[in-house]
Structure 1
Amino acid sequence: MRRLLGVVFVVGAVAGCSSPVPGLPAPASGAGPSAAPAPATTTATTATAAPAAAGFTVIAGGDVLIHPALTEQAESDGGSGRDYAPLLAGIRPAVEGADLAVCHLEVPLAGADGPFAGYPRFIAPPEVATGLAETGYDVCTTASNHTMDHGEQGALSTLDALEAAGLAYTGSARDREDAETPLVLDVPGAKVGWLSHTFAFNSGTERPSGKPWMSNVIDVGEIIAEAEAAREAGADVVVASLHWGVEGSHEATAEQRDIAERLLGDPAVDLIIGHHAHVVQPFEKVNGKWVTYGLGNQVARHAEPKGTTEEGALARFRFVEQDGAWTVSEAEYLPTLVDLGPPIRLLDLTETGEGARAAEAIARTEEIVTSLGADADGLTRPGA
């Protein structure tokens, strides 16, 4: 949990306000969460025409893992500066088209002058946040095993960069008050709460003593309590982003499946979005609700690319209200591919899916995401 900047600020379980945080620009019109969404209107064209079911879409991407080669590409694209937007431009139409778009920022961000570093202790330039915002993202989840790679200073400079770019965040916080304020966002006709937790941190990079709010750790009881707090703050739908599983494995672990069973068996949690493995993992319907165990890398440039580490997926869900309850009416996955170029570019394979390499990525992603029967439960791929 954390406070929301630049979208909607809801304080605890007391009262919300619909105006942006002072000092940040008002949200742009169009897709994405807004401070005061206009009610949907429909115009009947015939006497029997019925209005479309009210609803909203959310889209979430995989790990944003900024290796030095991606920064070199951003420097090349930016000329006199660093510009990550061209790298991500391939997914911009899909991201902008959702009512709420959430990225997973796996690495800390530094100030403008760095220093910057790659594996094993990442820290990337602040322009990464600008590029994500220009791509259409509204929020970034920040709880990962790399959150504390550069200690408290790195965690706080990450939040500085996100705020400067107009992005909300969840998963880490500045202080206890920040951490105890649920992230609740306005979308057309509803409010969405979003949580972010990680399984642990890399060796030697633990949270500072007495400051557990620096990054959230997976604990089923705590996640449910936070989800309940988000609902008390007005959320109609609550999503949990979890950094978990085994790197390089396409299979969800028994622990992942157990956590999903417990969380999705509770009425406070509606959807789980998974990260960390750097390869795609299955989607599954559990207790009537969806979990994506792992969306792979959204963007990365490993020193030794494996093919599977360049493949990922965007997860898109449409929520509709029926009898006072919000449920997923459409579940989709959009295969993605990091084209290593040069130049390095992230591709949405539902839009650019030609060639043998794209066909290979689409086929492998489809096999993995449906391996637990998600297709039988209604998961689809646009254009398939």
Structure 2
Amino acid sequence: MFVAVATRRRVLLGALAGALLLAAAVVGFRAVDAGGPAPADTIESPVHRQTLAPGSSPVPARDPAGRRVVRVVAAGDVLVHPEVTAQARRDADRTGRPGALDFAPMFAGVAPAVAGADLALCHLETPLADAGGPFSGYPSFNAPPQVLDGVRSAGFDGCSTASNHTLDQGADGVARTVRALDAAGLGHTGSARSAAEAATPRIYRVGDVRIAHLAYSLNFNGLSRPPGQPWLANLIDPPEILAAAHRARAAGADIVVLSLHWGTEYQHLPDADQRAWAQQLISSPDVDLILGHHAHAVQPFQRFGDKWVVFGMGNELARHAEPVDDNREGVMARATFTETAPGRWTVTRMEALPTWTDLAPDLRLVDLTAALADPATGAGVRDDYRAAYDRVLGYVRALGAGPDQLVAPGGGAPSPRTRSR
């Protein structure tokens, strides 16, 4: 349907056989002047850069009607528990690098879907340590910065960093995390090292289309930002969010995407705060899409007019001390924005891509759509995958987003085996 997108996917899938090529492409981010009346930190999408001939300029794809289209993929929480780090150590050992950490194999299963997007956004929930550690898990995370190599290898362009764990390691942890993202060539929003950095809109460039990304958290697990440093980490405050979205528009953003770390953990339906905030924020002309994190359980996608709120995508990569279906399930959101009028971008197609985390023999992310379409997937594990796929679709459609609105590639409605819990 979208010729340019299909071309990008073919090129990128070939590159996935050599994950280092994708990593190198991501390192090739280039900062440019956003223009407009307000300063902005703008990044050119490496997905486009990889598929272009030298000296050419990336351009968005076009639909059959000739309208420009941009596809944004977003994923749930990247939560680096000690078991995730242990798996990265085992994977590095296998390739003759004892003592190193290799997170790329864990992300490899979702890389085709992520890398095929025009812009791919992750949610980095944990602060990052120095490369040599010490590392720690719950309740006060200090994660290996090497996880960003895995994030990069999957094709993500940037991450939101506002979460209830943002302040786990204080201001030093925020600074280390942002420095590591910068060094990896990944964009970031939600925490900052200075007031000036916090006030600078994060804008990604897909050709000449500019996509702003904002991020905020509902709390910091009882921790407080130091006096006089509210810019260290973003706290949900609707008037402040709306003002920031308006500043992003003034800085030249065509599309504004808002990530919110919110909700009640392990609940599949949005709570009262989520519902109220969603209605207030998505009603603004300055906010085009809301992406939710935090619950460690998949929550619904809901359409508001011609806009969407993704209440919760569950975990992308995690390994809780007590792994259950809820925290092994996830969903990636793929939104196709179409320029329906000059300068007006609308989500014309929303897709839910269910994911699952295998625990044995190795910790691995599974793109359930791809796994169910693969004839090599064994019968026993296929049943487990199909059950997880059905559960995830049941959750994302719980507020009425039917197949006519919300597409699930590779499968339609949940099968009769779907459980409701």
Specify if TM > 0.5.
yes
Partner residue, 2:29 = 6
- Which has the higher mean CA deviation after the structures are superposed, 243-252 or 286-295? 286-295
The CA deviation at 1:134 is 1.3
Cα distance change of structure 1 residues 11 and 347 upon mapping to structure 2, 3 Å threshold: same
CA deviations 1:265-316 (Å, max 9, x no partner) are 1100000000000010000012431000000000111111111110000000
Which secondary structure does the structure 2 equivalent of 1:94 belong to? helix
Partner residue, 2:77 = 63
Cα distance in 2 between the residues matched to 1:20 and 1:41: 19
Unaligned runs of 5+ in 2: 1-27, 412-421
Match of 2:88 among 74, 91, 100: 74
User: Are 2:247 and 1:229 aligned?
Assistant: yes
Cα distance in 1 between the residues matched to 2:115 and 2:271: 33
Partner residue, 2:391 = 364
CA RMSD of aligned residues (A): 2.5
Listed as ranges, the matches of 1:213-362 within 5 Å are: 213-324=231-342, 325-353=344-372, 354=377, 355-362=382-389
Whether the aligned pair in 1 keeps the contact of 2:47 and 2:118 (CA below 8 Å) is no
Using the size of structure 2 for normalisation, the TM-score is 0.82
CA deviations 1:131-160 (Å, max 9, x no partner) are 101110001100000000010111111111
Partner residue, 1:125 = 144
The CA deviation at 1:31 is 6.6
User: Are 2:193 and 1:174 aligned?
Assistant: yes
Cα distance change of structure 1 residues 206 and 41 upon mapping to structure 2, 3 Å threshold: closer
Match of 1:374 among 401, 404, 420: 401
Cα distance change of structure 1 residues 26 and 138 upon mapping to structure 2, 3 Å threshold: closer
The CA deviation at 1:41 is 8.0
Cα distance in 1 between the residues matched to 2:354 and 2:143: 25
The CA deviation at 1:207 is 1.5
Cα distance change of structure 1 residues 13 and 52 upon mapping to structure 2, 3 Å threshold: closer
Whether the aligned pair in 2 keeps the contact of 1:333 and 1:381 (CA below 8 Å) is yes
Cα distance in 2 between the residues matched to 1:222 and 1:20: 24
CA deviations 1:21-74 (Å, max 9, x no partner) are 9xxx98872479xx98434588xxxxxx96642111000000001100110100
CA deviations 1:60-108 (Å, max 9, x no partner) are 0000011001101001111221010001100000110000000000000
Which secondary structure does the structure 2 equivalent of 1:352 belong to? helix
Partner residue, 1:46 = none
Unaligned runs of 5+ in 1: 43-48
Cα distance change of structure 1 residues 18 and 202 upon mapping to structure 2, 3 Å threshold: closer
Listed as ranges, the matches of 1:30-109 within 5 Å are: 30=50, 37-39=57-59, 52-79=66-93, 80=97, 81-109=100-128
Partner residue, 1:111 = 130
Amino acid at match of 1:213: W
Cα distance in 1 between the residues matched to 2:51 and 2:38: 25
Cα distance in 2 between the residues matched to 1:240 and 1:119: 26
Which secondary structure does the structure 2 equivalent of 1:350 belong to? helix
Cα distance in 1 between the residues matched to 2:208 and 2:60: 8
Cα distance in 1 between the residues matched to 2:310 and 2:215: 14
The CA deviation at 1:19 is 8.9
Cα distance in 2 between the residues matched to 1:333 and 1:37: 30
The CA deviation at 1:163 is 1.0
Identity value in percent: 45
Q: How many residues align?
A: 368
Whether the aligned pair in 1 keeps the contact of 2:297 and 2:313 (CA below 8 Å) is yes
Cα distance change of structure 1 residues 31 and 16 upon mapping to structure 2, 3 Å threshold: farther
